[in-house]
A and B are shown apart, each in its own frame.
Chain A
Amino acid sequence: MNKFVLENLHVKYSDGVEALKGVSLEIPAKSITVLFGPAGGGKSTLLRTLNRLNDLSDVTEVSGRVAMFNSDSSATDLLNPRLDVIALRRRVAMVFARPIVLPMTIRENLTYGLTLAGERSTIRLHEAVERSLQQAALWDEVKDRLDEPAISLSGGQQQRLCLARSLALDPEVILLDEPTSGLDPISTTKVEASLQEIKVNYTVILVPHSIQQAARTADQAAFILQGQLIEQADGKELFLNPRDKRTQDYIEGRFG
Chain B
Amino acid sequence: MTRANLDSKLQNLLNEILELDSMVETATLQSIEALKNHDLELAKQIYHDDALINARRFDLENDCMITIATQQPIVAHDLRLVASILEVVAELERMGDYAKGIAKIALQIGTQPHIKPLIDIPRMAEIAVSMLHRSVMAFVHFDAEAARQIPDEDDQVDFLYKQVYRELVTIMFSNPSTIDQANYLMWVAHNLERMADRVTNICERAIYVATGQMKEIDVSDDESKV
Contacts and interface: CB of A to CB of B under 8 A. Distances in A.
A192 interface: yes
Contacts of A211: 72
A196 B5 contact: yes
A216 B70 CA distance: 5
A248 to B, nearest CB: 12
B5 A193 contact: yes
B66 A137 contact: no
A245 to B, nearest CB: 17
A4 interface: no
A196 B4 contact: yes
B2 interface: yes
Interface residues on A, range: 10 to 19
Interface in B66-84: 66, 69-73
B64 to A, nearest CB: 11
Given A236-B66, A240-B65, A240-B66, A215 B71 contact: yes
Nearest to B6: A216
B119 interface: no
A99 interface: no
Contact residues of A: prevailing secondary structure: helix
B70 A239 contact: yes
A181 interface: no
A212 B72 contact: yes
A90 interface: no
A212 B4 contact: no
B215 interface: no
Contact of B69 (A137, A192, A215): A215
Nearest to A196: B5
B69 A190 contact: no
A235 interface: yes
Contacts of A87: none
A86 interface: no
B70 A215 contact: yes
B69 A239 contact: yes
Interface string A19-53: 00000000000000000000000000000000000
B3 interface: yes
Interface residues of B, number: 13
Contact of A235 (B2, B65, B70): B70
A216 B72 contact: yes
B123 to A, nearest CB: 45
A218 B70 CA distance: 8
Nearest to B63: A236
A137 B1 contact: yes
Interface in A129-186: 137, 186
Nearest to A189: B2
Interface in B1-18: 1-6
B74 to A, nearest CB: 10
A218 B3 CA distance: 15
Contacts of A215: 69-72
B2 A186 contact: yes
Interface string A188-215: 0110111010000000000000011001
Interface in A208-241: 211-212, 215-216, 218, 235-236, 239-240
B5 A236 contact: no
Contacts of A137: 1
A236 B1 CA distance: 22
Nearest to B71: A216
A240 B69 contact: yes
5 contacts: A192-B5, A193-B2, A193-B4, A193-B5, A236-B66
- 9 shortest A-B CB distances, which residue pairs? A212-B72, A189-B2, A215-B70, A239-B69, A240-B69, A236-B66, A193-B4, A193-B1, A239-B70
Given A216-B71, A218-B70, 7 more contacts: A189-B2, A193-B4, A216-B6, A239-B69, A239-B70, A240-B65, A240-B69
